[in-house]
Chains A and B, each alone.
Chain A
Amino acid sequence: MYLGLKEMWHEKLRYGLLSGVLLLIALVVFMLSGLANGLSVGNRQAVDQWRAKTVYLNKNANQSLAASQLKISDQTTVSGTHAPLANLSGTLRTTTNKLKTSASAFGTSRDSFIMPKVIKGHRINGKDQLLISAGLLDKGYHLGQKVRIGTTTHSVKIVGTYQTSTYSIAPTVYTDTSTLNRLKGSPITSGKDQPINAIVAKNSQFKSSDHDNLERLSITTFVSSLPGYSAEQLTLNTMIYFLFVMALAVIGIFMFVLTLQKSALFGVLKVQGIGTRHIIGALLSQSIAMALIGIGLGLAITIGLAQIMPAGLPFVIDWNAFGIYSVALLAAAVIGALLSWRTVANIDPAVAIG
């Protein structure tokens, strides 16, 4: 370790440059991780806030909420705590059309477990009332405002807000099932035949094997079937995994070239009884030190950038992922240094004499 770190100190430029390359790799890893997590949150935040375990969809809907059509009365086929869910993706706009925002509207029964907890205003206690995600307040929406969703002329009144929530990268709004059906322009807006898109449940099973048109999905399956979700995550995560390979290759090649350059010195060391183990130890301490510098600065810069990022960028820091990726980068550096083991072991000390 002494040998390795002293050499780094003496050759600051050389090792500084490689630390810089590792910094760039770490930075990209952390940025991609933040983006992947941001997109993931943007897609699924509302679903996570339901704290549900199961979603029932129409079995012909190909696991897609928007494509699924059920009726309120379908709830009788399932057990446990459950709630109806009607969904409408549309433009949230004020009656004067002054503000326009894409939003995901959900309708559920007024007292259902997925109806969000109001932090300002009041719960839905009458027809044509709407709760909006706190995030929408920043865009100019406020309590008491009359708004429309989609192309309808039917207007509803904002009566409360709840903790920021998004679904399919759009802020959510909640209302009761009947109001949502009115907004949708559905012919049936009351009673057991009202259309809904899904049944969301906690611990729940089918009551009997006779559930002809329903399909039971775990919440994990439901989330991974969200439109674009899996494709986005897979793309970004593949890029991250590829960067680990790059980190390994960069360290491995650099250490190998340096080992070749220093083989005469290593021969002299071996003559003096300083063996392969000590030399590899020096290489390891160098690559670990460079990885720690790169990862540390990469983290610091990522956190700094996160402060000044435009609000529209879906970037959310996931400390668990950052921890795992830091360890993975460190592991890549260790493996990269160990790749020179054979080369070091094969240096013949006899060449240092004569």
Chain B
Amino acid sequence: MTNPVLKLDAITKQFGSGHTAVTALTDANFEVNAGEFVAIIGPSGSGKSTFLTIAAGLQTPTSGQVYLNGQPLTHQSERQRLAYRFNDVGFILQASNLIPFLTVREQFKLVDKLAKRPFQKEKTEKLLAELALSDVQNAYPNQLSGGERQRVAIARALYNDPSVILADEPTASLDTPRSIDVVKRLADEAHHHNKAIVMVTHDQRLISHCDVVYRIEDGHLARTETTKA
């Protein structure tokens, strides 16, 4: 039995107070292990985004605790949480999280510049080849197709060797074949690089590729039957 990479323990999140209080998450328990591809599925307004912002350390829960590799996250300083997101979490956001004025290659260069280390050229090229992006490495994000952009985002998320990757509706702007492609690649990366990947989505079609599926509705998070052995 391995320790979960990311664990949310009895998380409750309330917005506002008194009569106007809204509970976005109620007593949510969640864990994901290395090499696991987990989907969180639910309609809009169900608390998916709140879940992600708490897991990412962008918001503090009203009660409960978030653990990354066994370390509690909730009481860390702003700066520590910034470092946590930079080093330990990879993000794939709904719209592209690429920087519009950097080429694909430069997106990776920037990460190295910020980490104050030399550009890892081979690592970049290997990742880009893995995601079939070698031909577009000098293109700007607006010259890429939606699918290519999300594949670059996957490569960018993997680049810092994070413990966990959080994907927020990564297929929202894609058609079905491209959505399936992106999800397949996420599953591959989880298994191949032994990463914990959490994908938040409302798209039922994608869950057949996931190892574990959680459903969320009105702030209640529940693990469902695993779809794969």
| B97-A268 in contact (CB<8A) | yes
Whether A11 touches B53, Cβ cut-off 8 Å, given contacts A273-B82, A275-B79, A350-B59, is: no
Chain A's closest residue to B81 (CB) is A273
List, in ascending order, chain B residues with CB within 8 A of A274's CB: 86, 114
Does B89 touch A at the CB level, under 8 Å? yes
- Interface residues in chain B, defined as those with a beta carbon under 8 Å from any beta carbon in chain A: 48-50, 52-53, 56, 58-59, 79, 82-87, 89, 91, 93-94, 97, 99-102, 106, 109-110, 113-114, 140, 168
Which of A7, A265, A271 has a CB less than 8 Å from the CB of B58?
Answer: A271
Contact sample, A vs B, 9 pairs, CB 8 Å cutoff: A3-B113, A270-B82, A272-B85, A273-B87, A349-B58, A350-B58, A350-B59, A353-B52, A354-B94
List, in ascending order, chain A residues with CB within 8 A of B56's CB: 271, 353
How many angstroms between the C-alpha atoms of A78 and B45 in the bound complex? 94
Dominant SS at the A interface? helix
Does A278 touch B at the CB level, under 8 Å? yes
| B106-A6 in contact (CB<8A) | yes
Tally of contact residues, A, Cβ under 8 A = 22
| B101-A6 in contact (CB<8A) | yes
- Cβ distance B162 to chain A, nearest Cβ, rounded Å: 10
List, in ascending order, chain A residues with CB within 8 A of B99's CB: 3, 265, 269
| A2-B100 in contact (CB<8A) | no
- Interface residues in chain A, defined as those with a beta carbon under 8 Å from any beta carbon in chain B: 2-3, 6-7, 9-11, 265, 268-275, 278, 349-350, 352-354
List, in ascending order, chain B residues with CB within 8 A of A7's CB: 101
List, in ascending order, chain B residues with CB within 8 A of A2's CB: 109-110, 113
Whether A10 touches B101, Cβ cut-off 8 Å, given contacts A273-B85, A275-B82, A278-B114, is: yes
| A273-B89 in contact (CB<8A) | yes
List, in ascending order, chain A residues with CB within 8 A of B49's CB: 353-354
How many angstroms between the C-alpha atoms of A275 and B82 in the bound complex? 7
List, in ascending order, chain B residues with CB within 8 A of A349's CB: 58
How many angstroms between the C-alpha atoms of A7 and B110 in the bound complex? 12
How many angstroms between the C-alpha atoms of A265 and B93 in the bound complex? 12
| B58-A3 in contact (CB<8A) | no
How many angstroms between the C-alpha atoms of A3 and B153 in the bound complex? 18
| A353-B82 in contact (CB<8A) | no
How many angstroms between the C-alpha atoms of A353 and B58 in the bound complex? 10
List, in ascending order, chain A residues with CB within 8 A of B140's CB: 10
Chain A's closest residue to B86 (CB) is A273
| B168-A353 in contact (CB<8A) | yes
| B85-A268 in contact (CB<8A) | no
